[in-house]
Amino acid sequence: MLSQSQGNKSADIDRVRRNTATHVNEEIDRDTTINILHYSNTGAASIERRIRELDREWDIERVLQVNASSLAFAGLMLGLRGNRKWMALPAVVLPFLFQHGVQGWCPPLPLLRRLGIRTRGEIDREKFALKALLDQPIHPGRPSVPSPLPASSEAAMPAFQIARSASRNAYGMQRHESRASG
């Protein structure tokens, strides 16, 4: 069962994805799966390095917050020191940030999503799939992640299954499935 904070995070993920064009979500998901499959054919050190990169990757919420606050601050400073017309910039940007907080959509969202900026859940999907690769033996009697794995579709299949499972967990699908079966 999901805690209240996990449920809220799941709702945030769904909210951004719901307000993103289907083909953009599919492209982001495809790129994430490709990354997982790629790293399933590398060694443990490479996977660990990628996990550290994912820990530093900015999610869509952070990008929107930093951009909105930067534009609002710049408009405020320019308006106070120069032409008062610059005050229009924070007057436009801040309602967009408010709209995103309430509805999960704002005008920059489609552009940022097309640029590949992911939600925290989408980043975590890749991260947890890679962590599972480190923890799960691919072949009996061999280390968890041989260095490197054979580049065959059979070797990539466990990684794909891990990615699919991580995706289902990240988007709360198992919670919905358990309600339907229970």
State pLDDT tens for residues 2-22: 444 455 555 555 889 999 999
Q: Is residue 107 situated within a structural domain? A: yes
36 closest CA partner among 123, 119, 118: 123
- 125 & 172 share domain: yes
pLDDT, position 98: 93
Q: Is residue 5 situated within a structural domain? A: no
Asked if 126 contacts 32 with a C-beta cutoff of 8 angstroms, the reply is yes
Q: Is the pLDDT of residue 112 over 50?
A: yes
Look up the pTM and report it: 0.70
Burial code of 140-179, b = ≥16 C-beta within 10 A, e = fewer?
Answer: eeeeebbeebeeeeebbebbeebbeebbebbbbeebeeee
Give me the domain span that covers residue 108.
58-117
- Look up residue 118 and give its DSSP letter: P
pLDDT, position 160: 53
Largest CA distance in the chain: 71
Q: Is residue 7 situated within a structural domain? A: no
**Domain count of the fold of the chain:** 2
- 126 & 165 share domain: yes
- 101 & 136 share domain: no
pLDDT band at 150; cut points 50, 70, 90: very low
- 145 & 66 share domain: no
pLDDT, position 54: 98
- 92 & 49 share domain: no
pLDDT, position 174: 38
Considering 117, 137, 154, which residue would you say is the last residue of a domain? Answer: 117
170 closest CA partner among 47, 33, 20: 33
Considering 71, 98, 117, which residue would you say is the last residue of a domain? Answer: 117
Tokens coding 93: 């940007």
Tokens coding 74: 């710049």
pLDDT, position 137: 59
Q: Is residue 1 situated within a structural domain? A: no
Q: Is the pLDDT of residue 167 over 70?
A: no
- 68 & 158 share domain: no
Residue written as token pair 């069962």: 1
Q: Which residues contact 166 (CB under 8 A, 6 or more apart)?
A: 124, 125, 126, 128, 129, 132
The C-alpha atoms of residue 100 and residue 5 are separated, in whole angstroms, by 19
Between 45 and 147, name the one with better pLDDT. 45
Q: Residue 56 burial (CB < 10 Å; 0-12/13-18/19+)?
A: exposed
Instruction: Give the number of other CB atoms < 10 A from CB of residue 13.
Output: 23
The average confidence (pLDDT) of the chain is 79
Considering 92, 117, 142, which residue would you say is the last residue of a domain? Answer: 117
Between 57 and 170, name the one with better pLDDT. 57
